[in-house]
Amino acid sequence: MRICDGLSLAREFGSHFAYCLMEFHLGQSREWIFLHLNDELFKKSEFIHLLNRYKDGEPLEYITRRCEFMGRDFVVGEGVLIPRFESEILVQKAIEVARKFNSPKIAEIGVGSGIISISLALELKNASIVATDISHKALEFARINKEKFGANVELVLSNYLDEIDGEFDIIISNPPYIAANYPLDKWVLSEPKIALIGGDIGDEILKDIAKIAKFRAKYLICEMGYNQKEPMKNYLNELGFESEFYTDLAGLDRGFVAYNKGK
């Protein structure tokens, strides 16, 4: 089997997937692969095994143990949410708000692999950042990525901010916001449900975080589901927030920046 034959097998799931899997298998760049398409495929049985793992529902990011976010390669694996491109918008919104403060105090609820807090720490050198998660596995990956990038982020095992004292300029979160009965494909179902499912309706955890932020933050910045704008807008208004919602690249409602008028 030649390299081009292996790529043809994997193209069932798209050309980008095929090349990413081949790059991982060979440990070579895409440019190298283009120049060696007719070479014999090294350890072809192992490549087929990788392809079958994906066919069985294991996400590509778990297989390769990497995911790109804001131009950086983060380490991910089984037991942690896979970063999505849409969350880059969340980080950009937080950077814009954080620059209103000389030394912003930021708390993240649900750090996962650490992409949000680490990205903020690398962009905001004067920020003080603490991040929590209830998952030991997630915190393991966050620590790996924190050390990889040398990011100044405090990581704490905690439900919400229960183990953290004080108030913050910004609370940020990409919490679980999918409704329990929402149909998901087998690759997404391989990710931890605790990081995906927000409750029967889906916005329950978002609302819990908003209640915390009412007393502990000047700004609340969150990602949310595409169908949650109206209920969250009404709820934030009830709590005394002035909110602005943003869309993702597909034009779907994807998150909000809320200013706490009481702070």
pLDDT tens figures, 31-58: 999 999 999 999 999 999 999 999 999 9
Tokens 């329950």 sit on residue: 204
CA 124/CA 231 separation, integer angstroms: 32
The model's pTM is 0.94
Tokens of 141: 């990956």
Domain ranges of the chain: 3-56, 67-260
Q: What are phi and psi of 245, to 5 degrees?
A: -105, 150
Please, which pLDDT band fits residue 263 given cuts at 50, 70 and 90? confident
* Helix residue ranges per DSSP H, the chain: 3-10, 15-26, 30-35, 44-55, 60-64, 87-98, 115-123, 136-149, 204-216, 229-239
Three-state secondary-structure class, residue 203: coil
CA 188/CA 237 separation, integer angstroms: 33
Tokens of 131: 């991040």
Quick one: pLDDT at residue 48? 97
- Please give the single-letter amino acid code of residue 81: L
DSSP output for 127-169: -EEEEEES-HHHHHHHHHHHHHHT---EEEE-STTTT--S-EE
CATH code, residues 67-260: 3.40.50.150
Three-state secondary-structure class, residue 36: coil
Three-state secondary-structure class, residue 242: strand
Tokens 């929402």 sit on residue: 182
CB 221, CB 256: distance < 8 Å: yes
Region 186-207: mean pLDDT is 95
- Please give the single-letter amino acid code of residue 95: I
CB contact set of 42 (below 8 Å; sequence gap of 6+): 25, 26
Three-state secondary-structure class, residue 233: helix
Please, which pLDDT band fits residue 196 given cuts at 50, 70 and 90? very high
43-96 pLDDT, tens digit each: 999 999 999 999 999 999 999 999 999 999 999 999 999 999 999 999 999 999
Which run of H or E residues covers position 223? strand 217-223
